[in-house]
Structure 1
Amino acid sequence: MTAGAAATAPACARIRGNDYTALAPPALGSWTPSLTVSVVVPAYNGQRKLDLVLAGLAAQTYPAELIEVVVVDNGSDPPLRLGPIRPELTRLITCESPGRPSARNAGLAAATGDVIHWLDSDVVPARQAVEAHMRWHHLAPYLVVASYLRFTSAEPPAPEVVAETADLAALFEPAEPHQWLIDLLERTGGLVEDPHRAFSLHVGGATSVNARLLRRTGPMDVDLVLGQDTELGYRLAQAGAVFVPDPEAVGYHLGPSMRMRDKAPIDRVSHAFIADRIPSYRWLRSHPGRSWKVPYVQVTVEADAGYDAVRATVDAVLAGTIPDVAVEIIGPWDTLVPERRAPLTDPDLDLVLIRGHYAHEGRVRLRAFSEQSFAPYHLRVPAGWVPGEDSVARLLDLAREQGYGLVNVLLAETAEGVTAARLERTAAFSRAVIVAGEGEDLDDAVEDVFGVLWVDGGAYDFTPAAEAPPITGRRSAYRARQEAAAEVARLTREAERLREQVTRWRDEAGKWRKSAVEFRRELGAARKELAAAKKAAQTQQRTGGPAKLAATLKRALSRGSEEK
């Protein structure tokens, strides 16, 4: 890499939503890096491919002293070895627990870099791939960067050829693009227009993550059979990550991916597991009433308002049109000792009643303090305020569709102050913690990175418990509207599909019409030529035809001989 200006950014850049285009990464080869990177390569067998990957890493434009490579042998037989062409700071460790998540976690534990770069053992990085990733990480500490993979069926060259070739396209092209990634970017406006799906970018083939962000998020989930990369990407999103696709970071996948070979069975397996862990994939949670490991919304209610107020609020939340909720009731449960002889005189009687009432409700947790949750939304409701049947659902729709990081619900305003409920987007507050200055109110930082809105509680059917109607549990009106909206969306998609089909038919018909016109033109010309030929033949027949012509030629030849 040539010497140049160091990559610089504000103290901590504030990216709104997933709009990474607000950052301006330096041109490749024009800047001076300082961050270290650990390239973690989990591997099982495939020595020949691993040798090519290490050769590609040995030829990177990013400074060699800033790159360490951790190869994790996940039970290969025979054991893997490090080829002679590799980066100087390369280590080989072993992981006996089978599975790529375990191997990656072992590599993560051994890594020392500022950035963790996942790289599969069958992906050969182009010469500037690591540099392309790292220029982004110098601009903000909460980025996830992904390469553009190309899938090649070319005969693998020797490692020394990879290390000596400046442009790997000469070795591996033609290659197929990563069509799944291209489709995702097209559907989401490059991940900027739909930040809710941005985390799907996190695939392990060639992705880099800020190490501190990754360690705050936690390691890969080893209980998953498939879909571990996507699940970790989802948790990274809740931790505040911004996801960046970089077309200048290129990697060549040696052969087709497993998903390209077996998409349908892979989806069947992965969806069965990630549905429990990724609430943002709403289509995987079509059941109308069941609960999940990670809820769509975490609701917090303080227990100090008393049993009746807490029950009114919690029961209303549980009866709402969004069953995909978990409620935490905050109180001193660890120190609570019920009065057995004279329970009615117990000063903590209301706490005892709350605990007794919800002890066996699976969607309610009794906690001493609000715990970290990877639910995408967190609703804080003052006890004694009752949301309507579809209040929570409508707030969630508002926050999701408009992209707000915080929706404040004004419940009451008195001389003593304002009472409000708060719907917080987990990703927004996680990012606010990262970017906020010392002493800065987190809500102000959330305003910068996602936006804040105030709404009237009455407009969203929040009422005091004393005025709230009985809970019916019908979950009817909102569901009917949702079903109608879903049907309209389905019909709209079908109409669009039919319009596209008609357009294709029209294009094809136009091509056929053009071909027919050209055919008629050629047929007309052929008929004219045939008529002219017939006419010439008739003329020849009338004037003596070929015999007369032959006689003429014979006389001409005879004269020529005599003259000679």
Structure 2
Amino acid sequence: MTPRIRGNDYTVLQPPALGSPWTPRLRASVVVPAYANQAKLDLTLAGLARQTYPADLLEVIVVDNGSEPRLRLPEIRPRHTRLLVCETPGRARARNTGLAAATGDVIHWMDSDVVPEPEEVEAHMRWHHLAPYLSVTSYLRFTTAPLPDPADVAGADDLAKLFEPAEPHAWIEDLVERSQGLTRSPRPFSIHIGGASSVSARLFERAGPMDPEMILGQDTEMGYRLAQAGAVFIPDPQARAYHLGPSMRMRDSTPVNRVSHALVTDRVPGYRWLRTHPARQWKVPQVEVLVDATAASYDEVRATVDGALAGTVTDLAVVLTGPWDELVPEQRAPLKDPCLDLALLRAHYTHEGRVRLATAASDTLSPYRLRLPPGWVPGEDSIGGLLAMARERELGLVSVLLAEGAEGVTAARLERTEAFSRAALVTAEGEDADDAVDEMFGTYWADGETHGFRAAAEAPAYMNPRTAYRKRVEAQAEVERLTKEVERLRGQVTKWRDEAGKWRKSAVEFRREIGTLRRQVSTLRGQVSALRHAQGLRGIARGLTRPFTFKKS
């Protein structure tokens, strides 16, 4: 039975220790895109030639990405090594050339300036024997040591003697440490790097090849698509390799980020902080709303779609499913056309950029899909609230109870794409995918009325003309006004503090003056008392000096 990993907690898997007895059975295809620099390629192949993984289960495909002069295969190389030439140069195209030619159960990307330790491939493959939906990444160390001879690499008992001192792949190790080994990361796909990562070939069948339009950031975009296909990402510190020289990002981090962010933002909704515009559309939206246009009237479907489009979540797209290819362009009696409602919907939404007409639902790259029954209208923040709940609780499914009666339950469903993709990889025939999703991600039932959903008859036929965008503009203006008011009050408080300081200073000086006056009064009182005492003594003295007379009786 295929293991069911909850979230990205791969710690439930117990791979065999390196060097311990175990029986490999899966074939590994190491794809090495290369451009120029024959000397570094020779070292990469020398490192692959001494792998502990069985040679009969290992093939290496080197893809020359337009080198002049052409690259060649050196004498020291794995037994099953091929050299291909990419007819249309480009990093993604070179990898796709190797991917198309690979025959292995696992595809192991490796750059032509990476020298693996002898156990590197074995470290990867021991994981892939445990589950068919894993992506494993090596720990790289970046060395600036002089390049040794390929024979020295092939015969070395310890590569550290040839390549140390070296620097670690700092951002990966920091990410792994902060996320408890990547088990608690909201974006574990970020660790997918082309330098030394391996992926089940079955996942590539679901996710598709590299995107040739990505001139930079290909690895991140590929990692995101692998995540939507159900991948679990594993950083293995025992899978080690040396990178010959610094990476491109180490050399030119600012220009590399500028280019990669411009491309990744459109394709990877997981990096939400890069999507700073409040209302624009992206190639891959955050959520796809799926509405069956054949299951209700034009008015009901329109109320549902307009409600979704008018909400606070603008990073979304609506897919209307129906037999659009069966509609006849013109009718002699259009009001009697049995497909009139479908025709009206097509006419109404043909030029709406966020609405797409499809004959059936297909796989989506959006991280979430909301299946919304026609005739039910989400409130202004209904979709946003469901998304927040799913993210915070890391749920694979949020079901929303809309109505319950004799005919059964009517519900909306917010589905996490990677959860249902993984469920498709592990469920047995006849098993309910929802049960597998609940086991690996968790599910939750929510009340529709509480979350703002209303039947079309109870909601405005068409949303209030004061759209969500206008409300956001007003809210932003209010935020700016309040921010200015806070700044004004802070200035006032500062002014009051200055005034209070002045008053405190004046009070201190006043108290000092009072103290001086009190001392002066006390001195004067002493002087007055002394004067009075002196005057009393003088009176006594005068009395003593008068002649004393006796009166006769």
TM-score band w.r.t. shorter chain:
0.7 to 0.9
Measured after TM superposition, the shift of residue 478 of structure 1 is 12
Instruction: Tell me if 1:356 matches 2:356.
Output: no
CA distance in structure 1 between the aligned counterparts of 2:274 and 2:177, rounded to whole angstroms: 22
Query: What's the counterpart of residue 417 of structure 2?
Result: 426
Deviations along 1:128-149, one digit per CA (max 9) or x if unpaired, are 0000000000000000000000
Query: What's the counterpart of residue 387 of structure 1?
Result: 378
Measured after TM superposition, the shift of residue 167 of structure 1 is 1.9
Measured after TM superposition, the shift of residue 188 of structure 1 is 2.4
Instruction: Tell me if 1:43 matches 2:37.
Output: no
**1:334-353 correspondence to structure 2 within 5 Å:** 334-338=325-329, 340-353=331-344
Query: What's the counterpart of residue 33 of structure 1?
Result: 24
Query: What's the counterpart of residue 273 of structure 2?
Result: 283
CA distance in structure 1 between the aligned counterparts of 2:143 and 2:417, rounded to whole angstroms: 39
**1:479-490 correspondence to structure 2 within 5 Å:** none
User: How much is the aligned-residue C-alpha RMSD, in angstroms?
Assistant: 1.7
**Quick one: which of 448, 456, 475 aligns to 1:465?**
456
Instruction: Tell me if 1:206 matches 2:196.
Output: yes
**Quick one: which of 436, 440, 447 aligns to 1:449?**
440
Deviations along 1:81-111, one digit per CA (max 9) or x if unpaired, are 1111110000111112111111000001111
**1:82-481 correspondence to structure 2 within 5 Å:** 82-194=73-185, 196-304=186-294, 305-338=296-329, 340-469=331-460, 470-471=463-464, 472-474=466-468, 476=471
SS state of the match for residue 457, structure 2?
A: helix
The change in CA–CA distance for 1:442 and 1:94 in structure 2 (over 3 A counts) is same
CA distance in structure 2 between the aligned counterparts of 1:77 and 1:160, rounded to whole angstroms: 25
CA distance in structure 1 between the aligned counterparts of 2:261 and 2:26, rounded to whole angstroms: 37
- Code of the aligned partner of 1:399: A
CA distance in structure 2 between the aligned counterparts of 1:23 and 1:386, rounded to whole angstroms: 44
CA distance in structure 2 between the aligned counterparts of 1:461 and 1:112, rounded to whole angstroms: 52
Larger radius of gyration: 2
SS state of the match for residue 239, structure 2?
A: strand
CA distance in structure 2 between the aligned counterparts of 1:465 and 1:477, rounded to whole angstroms: 24
SS state of the match for residue 183, structure 1?
A: helix
Query: What's the counterpart of residue 511 of structure 2?
Result: none
Deviations along 1:135-172, one digit per CA (max 9) or x if unpaired, are 00000000000000000011111111101112211211
CA distance in structure 2 between the aligned counterparts of 1:211 and 1:99, rounded to whole angstroms: 22
CA distance in structure 1 between the aligned counterparts of 2:249 and 2:468, rounded to whole angstroms: 42
The change in CA–CA distance for 1:28 and 1:480 in structure 2 (over 3 A counts) is farther
Contact 1:338 1:346 in 2 (8 A): no
**TM-score after normalising by structure 1:** 0.82
- Code of the aligned partner of 1:84: E
**TM-score after normalising by structure 2:** 0.84
CA distance in structure 1 between the aligned counterparts of 2:7 and 2:290, rounded to whole angstroms: 25
Deviations along 1:268-311, one digit per CA (max 9) or x if unpaired, are 00111111110111011111111011111011001120100100
Query: What's the counterpart of residue 22 of structure 1?
Result: 12
CA distance in structure 2 between the aligned counterparts of 1:24 and 1:148, rounded to whole angstroms: 19
Contact 1:37 1:115 in 2 (8 A): yes
The change in CA–CA distance for 1:478 and 1:392 in structure 2 (over 3 A counts) is farther
- Code of the aligned partner of 1:53: T
Measured after TM superposition, the shift of residue 436 of structure 1 is 0.3
Contact 1:123 1:252 in 2 (8 A): yes
CA distance in structure 2 between the aligned counterparts of 1:183 and 1:466, rounded to whole angstroms: 54
Deviations along 1:51-92, one digit per CA (max 9) or x if unpaired, are 100000011111111110000011111111111111000011
Contact 1:95 1:102 in 2 (8 A): yes
Q: Percent identity?
A: 66
Query: What's the counterpart of residue 555 of structure 1?
Result: none
Measured after TM superposition, the shift of residue 339 of structure 1 is 5.0
The change in CA–CA distance for 1:332 and 1:90 in structure 2 (over 3 A counts) is same
User: Structure 1 unaligned runs (5+)?
Assistant: 1-10, 489-564
Contact 1:73 1:95 in 2 (8 A): yes
Tell me the matched-pair count.
474
- Code of the aligned partner of 1:210: S
Query: What's the counterpart of residue 70 of structure 2?
Result: 79
Contact 1:321 1:479 in 2 (8 A): no
CA distance in structure 2 between the aligned counterparts of 1:286 and 1:183, rounded to whole angstroms: 26
SS state of the match for residue 27, structure 1?
A: coil
Measured after TM superposition, the shift of residue 32 of structure 1 is 1.7
Contact 1:127 1:166 in 2 (8 A): no
Measured after TM superposition, the shift of residue 341 of structure 1 is 2.1
Query: What's the counterpart of residue 5 of structure 1?
Result: none
Contact 1:330 1:369 in 2 (8 A): yes
User: Structure 2 unaligned runs (5+)?
Assistant: 484-553
CA distance in structure 1 between the aligned counterparts of 2:457 and 2:129, rounded to whole angstroms: 55
SS state of the match for residue 459, structure 1?
A: coil
CA distance in structure 1 between the aligned counterparts of 2:369 and 2:330, rounded to whole angstroms: 34
- Code of the aligned partner of 1:331: G
Query: What's the counterpart of residue 533 of structure 2?
Result: none
SS state of the match for residue 14, structure 2?
A: coil
CA distance in structure 1 between the aligned counterparts of 2:177 and 2:187, rounded to whole angstroms: 12
